[in-house]
Structure 1
């Protein structure tokens, strides 16, 4: 038995897989101050469903897979450790100068971003290694020892070390790291050549500083998670989801927490890819995961999930650059808990502020007073107050209506239902714009893609979103309400390794490139021996970071070979780079040499033995169709037919207005749309 959880801002999702491959899922409220409590609550629901105690259920488990936003939340809220940054003498301002970009280059009212580590906690170390790995200035160990005493007096909790050209020769970083471990015992140290071996100093320093600052926090969190799971009766492996769309052992993540900055959201495209292929092998898919707090958008392009090294926490150039490979996900402050308000000028706003899990929407009855998207959905008749979470939570429609009337309807001088519809409509527009930004920017026409709707609140307005985008098909998987947790269950055990080097196709260094490829392959093999012994299938992919001569930025080019043997191999690589460049920028320059600035290898170990992924819940054939009054802008109040998702016949198409309900989600099919249930359990909607 395996468990996969995703801790969201409002709910904690759990997917349980039995030994025979059957799937079941559960939802419990997230506890912001103690996320593990929400995980245990979801597991308790699964135990009760089987007539077991929590201890008996956990005793059957072999693997527990956990997705968490604990790391990114700590950065956003400033709860990271007090961190010192050690740099090469003369380069104290790496984090201050950044890489020079500005969103608004002529807007001088915007303050310059603060560095992740304050300049007062950035220290210069006399040492210098040059581009070819030679030592120009020997390391002054006496200064390091003096600094160790000062860091102790400053009560520094973590140390990041980023020296120039350490990716070519890490000797000085390794030596300083060893000295600090001896003289600052218990203080974690991150070395830039190990965290993110890229030649770009700012992103290498930034990612190393972020990694170091998270080590104390994530060490405690993951240690507590493992300890409390063990105390509750679990004796299996604890795995944590990574930003790159895989999973790693909790102990490995605690040693390199930068890998889990985008932990939970990276899983939705994994599940989205699976369901898009099931329902017609769509080449391009838009995967939208609607939670209580955020709307996370990702793509499946040409059957592949795009990755990025431009992951920023906050606004690009103004926030903090993670600089670590991650599934490309765009998040906006729009979800079921997004708060609606009217400003002094009479304009309606929805989000980015959210009611979250506490106090939650007004209809939850937990003390919330400001209307949200969920409140609007209750008022419009989309949500059944008596069947939310299968009846586990009763909603207060009257309280939601009063909140909308006071805060939205009266200021706008409209009826309550019109105000509620405007809240849904504006939320839809915010989501449509976010999707357009990420698709059009990558040359994808959203009208030609399938929209995968995930998250508990996805069904409320995904039909409206798909119609606005021009999508011909919307797919809401049966596990869509827990899409990220479902993706976690499908994910592979993943290891990532990188190395910096420099060569050009004009003067190709066969020995250096082949040596690096050999070492990366050895790292992957060692990872498999250490972590992937039970793997059913092993896949290793190598990427070259390359650019045309004199270009500033590099792009990723897959390397299908493990060794360059002749000039023909170099020519083939040049042609492959030209093709990728043309796909991205619509032009290429075959006459220019190509520079390689780094190599990356990713090893994926498939550990899930089952091919199918479908809920095992049996349909309740006693449920009869009913109707409920629901409001739509063009039709007004009308009778919508109510369907229970698990009782719907396969391939039987029906027209809206209709509402499809399950214990986990509600799907609104408006009068203009057609829908049916597929053989795979998904709801297929044609807007």
Structure 2
């Protein structure tokens, strides 16, 4: 058996793949102060359902994939190690000056954001490497020793090192790392050229600072999780999900914890791509993962998942840029636990603040007093209070009504169900806005895409969002309530490698490029060689980052490494770049040469051969209950259990389809069918249905694909 666990802000999702390849979902409330306890609680729920002992269940596991927001939450709350930055003399403000850009350009009252590491913990060393790798000013080892001893006096817990042009010649950065290891034994150090050999200094420094600050925390967390899982009976391989859409051994993530920052959300598009290929027609997919705290959106085009280096922790330009390649996922604070309130001006707000797992929505009966979207959906009839989590938890309808009445309905002077509908509609609009930001704002037409709904709270809004965006089809996979965890079981063991080596197509340095390609190929092969015997297959994919002369930004373009060995091959590289530039920006200069800045290799090791789930066909009948539809009022709606819907039969809304982990609202006018895989396929009201031919749109501004 294989397990996948995704620790969210409200629920911990567990997906189990048995010996026959069948998947099952289990959920348990997240325990924020002790996430491993939440994981073990989820296994306890699974053991009870499967009729076995938890220890026996864990002992039968070969692999456990783990996604966690532990590192992300630590950065957001500032609960990280006391970290110092060592940089080149004369350049101590790299984290202060950042990169240009701001939100609200006319708002002069917003304070300039603080650097990730304060200036008081930034230390300079006298050295200088030139842009061609030449030593302009030699590094004095004695000076580094003095700096290290000063760091000891400051009792720093981690150190990030980012020296100028270390990506071209790392000798000085390596020497600093050597001295720090001698003078500060046990204090973790991150060298920027090893972690993120990117050209842009701020991004390199920022990623090194974030990574170093997380090392003590994540090393302790991973070691503790491994020990407690072993104590509970698990003796298999522990893998951590990464923000780049793959998985790494837990020990590798402990050495570079920045990989884990957006590990959970990055897996949803991996699973969304799989289910869209199997159960939908449209070539492009919008993958939306609705949790208790956030709404995470990504786009899959032509089978490719875009990635970006411009991932921010917190608000863009106000938070901190990771500078590290990750799946391009946009998030807004809208989920099942998003809190609703009315401000002093009489304006309704939903999110971004969340009730979280503790105290949770008012209807959970755990002490929450403020209304959430989950409370609103319960009041509107979309949730059965006696069937939440398959009946393991009973929801308190009266508590939800009281919370909405006190905090929304009474301040607005409307009835409770009207207030609940307003909460629902506003949350839906926030979600639509998140999708528009990553689609129509980037020249992508959502009316050509299938909307894939994932997350435990996905069923409330997904069909309504599909209607608002004119999507021809919407699918909610049977594994949708744990989409990220399901994506982990589908994912590969993967890691990217990068090396800088600038050249141009009209003066191509064949010998130098051959050395660089050989270097990253060797590192990728070493990674594959250490992957273990459980892999099914492996491969290496190459790409280049290039631009037109005098451009500021680069594009990553997949390449065949053999093209770098001949003049004819270089011409093909130029042609590939023109095509990528045309696709991304709708313009290309076919007569211009290109400048290639860096070379990349991504090693992939396939761990499984994923198969779509198969749900037994039933021929049940629906029940009926009253639900409230915004703008339409109370309606009698069919209430189906997913397993009771006959396969491929066409059904019509209004209806609610329930499973033990979610409830899907079918609006009036929507048509829905259940696929053999258990996926709900929906044609929203007013949509003609999916096109017979697969189509996809041009116009993304993301930097690469997975």
Following TM superposition, by how much is the alpha carbon of 1:281 offset from its aligned partner in structure 2, in angstroms? Answer: 4.5
User: Secondary structure of 2:665's match?
Assistant: strand
**1:372-391 equivalences in 2 (<5 Å):** 372-391=372-391
Deviation, structure 1 residue 109: 1.7
Aligned ranges 1:282-681 → 2 under 5 Å:
282-562=282-562, 564-608=564-608, 610-614=609-613, 624-681=621-678
Asked whether the equivalents of residues 493 and 532 of structure 1 are also in contact (C-alpha less than 8 Å), the reply is no
Query: What is the TM-score normalised by the length of structure 2?
Result: 0.95
**1:556 Cα shift?**
0.7
Q: Deviations over 1:116-141 (max 9, x none)?
A: 11111111101111122121111111
**Equivalent residue, structure 2, for 1:187:** 187
Unaligned 5+ segments in structure 1 are none
Return the offset for 1:103: 2.9
Alpha-carbon distance in structure 2 between the residues aligned to 1:482 and 1:216: 29
Q: Residues of 2 paired with 1:248 and 1:421: CA distance?
A: 43
1:205-284 to structure 2, matched below 5 A, reads 205-284=205-284
SS in 2 for 1:198: coil
Q: How far apart, CA to CA, are the structure 1 residues paired with 2:426 and 2:444?
A: 24
Cα 1:483–1:663 change in 2 (3 A) is same
Partner Cα separation in structure 1 for residue 97 and residue 256 of structure 2: 25
Is the 8 Å Cα contact of residues 442 and 584 (structure 1) preserved in structure 2? no
Quick one: distance in 2 between partners of 1:374 and 1:66? Answer: 26
Maintained 8 Å contact 1:241/1:247? yes
What displacement does 1:325 show? 0.6
CA contact (8 A) 1:479 1:615 kept: no
Question: 1 CA distance for matches of 2:163 and 2:430?
Answer: 43
Matches of 2:292 and 2:557 in 1, distance apart? 37
1:478 and 1:615 in contact (8 A); partners too:
no
**Structure 1 contact 650–678 (Cα < 8 Å) conserved:** yes
> Distance between the aligned counterparts of 1:678 and 1:628, measured in 2?
24
> What secondary structure is seen at the aligned counterpart in 1 of 2:439?
helix
Q: Distance in 1 between matches of 2:589 and 2:102?
A: 28
* Mean CA deviation greater in 667-676 or 205-214: 667-676
Q: Measure, in 2, the Cα distance between the counterparts of 1:370 and 1:107.
A: 32
Measure, in 1, the Cα distance between the counterparts of 2:661 and 2:9: 16
Give the Cα separation in 1 of the matches to 2:98 and 2:350.
33
Give the distance between the partners of 1:61 and 1:170, measured in 2 at CA.
Answer: 42
Deviation at 1:311, TM superposition (A): 0.6
User: What is the CA distance between 1:108 and its match in structure 2?
Assistant: 2.3
* Residues 336-395 of structure 1: per-residue CA shift (max 9 Å, x gap): 001111111111111111101000000000111111100011111110000001101100
Give the C-alpha shift of residue 624 in structure 1.
Answer: 4.6
Question: Is the CA contact (8 Å cut-off) linking 1:24 and 1:615 kept in structure 2?
Answer: no
Output the CA distance in 2 between the equivalents of 1:442 and 1:174. 41
Give the Å deviation of 1:102. 2.6
Q: How many residues end up aligned between the 2 structures?
A: 684
Q: Deviations over 1:192-243 (max 9, x none)?
A: 1001001111100010011100100000010111010111111111000000
Contact 2:563 2:570 in 1 (8 A): no
Could you tell me whether the CA contact under 8 Å between 2:494 and 2:602 is conserved in 1?
yes
Query: For the residues of structure 1 that align with 2:614 and 2:195, how far apart are their CA atoms?
Result: 39
Partners of 2:337 and 2:327 in 1: how far apart?
25
Contact 1:160 1:209 (C-alpha < 8 Å) held by counterparts = yes
1:620 to partner: Cα distance? 7.7
> What secondary structure sits across from 2:179 in the alignment?
helix
Deviations 1:418-448 (A, max 9, x none): 1111110111111001101110133211111
Secondary structure of the 2:111 match is coil
- How far apart, CA to CA, are the structure 2 residues paired with 1:395 and 1:186? 49
Match of 1:683 among 675, 680, 684: 680
Q: Is the 8 A contact 1:652 1:677 kept in 2?
A: yes
**CA distances 1:140-198 after superposition (whole Å, capped 9, x unpaired):** 11111111111111110000111111111111111111111111000000001001001
Structure 2 unaligned segments of length 5 or more: list them.
685-706
The offset of 1:106, in angstroms, is 4.1
Q: Give the C-alpha shift of residue 538 in structure 1.
A: 1.3
Contact 1:242 1:263 in 2 (8 A): yes
Q: How far apart, CA to CA, are the structure 1 residues paired with 2:185 and 2:562?
A: 41
Q: Distance in 2 between matches of 1:405 and 1:281?
A: 43
CA contact (8 A) 2:578 2:590 kept: yes
Query: After superposition, what is the alpha-carbon deviation per residue over 1:443-499, rounded to whole angstroms, capped at 9, x for unaligned?
Result: 211111100000111111111111111111110000100000000110000121111
Paired with 1:624 and 1:422, the residues of 2 have a C-alpha distance of 32
User: For residues 477 and 257 of structure 1, what CA distance do their matches in structure 2 show?
Assistant: 31
Report the secondary structure of 2:31's partner residue: coil
Distance 2:456 2:140 in 1: 57
**Preserved contact between residue 275 and residue 612 of structure 2 (Cα < 8 Å):** no
For each residue in 1:520-550, what CA deviation from the matched residue of structure 2 results, as whole angstroms up to 9, or x when unmatched?
1111110011015432121311121111111
